Amino acid sequence: MACPPDYLPGVPFWRAALQAQEILLVCGAQYVRQSHHNRARVRTPTGAQWLTIPVRRGQLGKSIAETEISPEGAWWRHHTKALRYNYGSTPFYEHLMPELEPLLSEEARRLSEVTVPALRVMARWLGCQAGIREV
């Protein structure tokens, strides 16, 4: 299965990934604005909420691996707060979030520095046996 490293992918991705023998994360794929490359949809009590990693202007045409995260705004604080608010009372939150939260940090400079490690962590949580490789 070959795909770009999207941000916190949903059920359709994991349905396919759990059946795959190998997952090829195509970090060289072109970044597309308003796509799942830097956006994740999470469930809330009132419906869906989008979590977006802001990228610097002028990133169109660059690969996902080259796409730079905007240093303005504390996006990682907003994302961890939203995840805590919406999922903090769910089973296993206290066990899982400590692994994910450090990946959502101001230290990440490029989009793939967040998406690839987050995918690897989520794959482990779900017991995904497929090998994960960046290409």
3-state secondary structure of 49: strand
Non-local (6+) Cβ contacts of 102 within 8 A are none
Q: What is the pLDDT of residue 60?
A: 85
Q: What is the pLDDT of residue 59?
A: 83
Q: What is the mean pLDDT of residues 75-96?
A: 94
Q: What is the pLDDT of residue 9?
A: 96
How many whole angstroms separate alpha carbon 88 and alpha carbon 71? 27
| Residue 124 neighbours by CB distance under 10 Å | 11
Tens digit of each residue's pLDDT (9 = 90 or more) over 19-65: 999 999 999 999 999 899 999 999 999 999 999 999 999 888 899 99
Are 34 and 50 within 8 A, CB to CB? Answer: no
Are 56 and 68 within 8 A, CB to CB? Answer: yes
Domain boundaries, given as residue ranges, for the chain? 2-134
The mean of the pLDDT values for the chain is: 94
pLDDT over 90 at 73, yes or no? no
Are 29 and 67 within 8 A, CB to CB? Answer: no
How many whole angstroms separate alpha carbon 124 and alpha carbon 91? 17
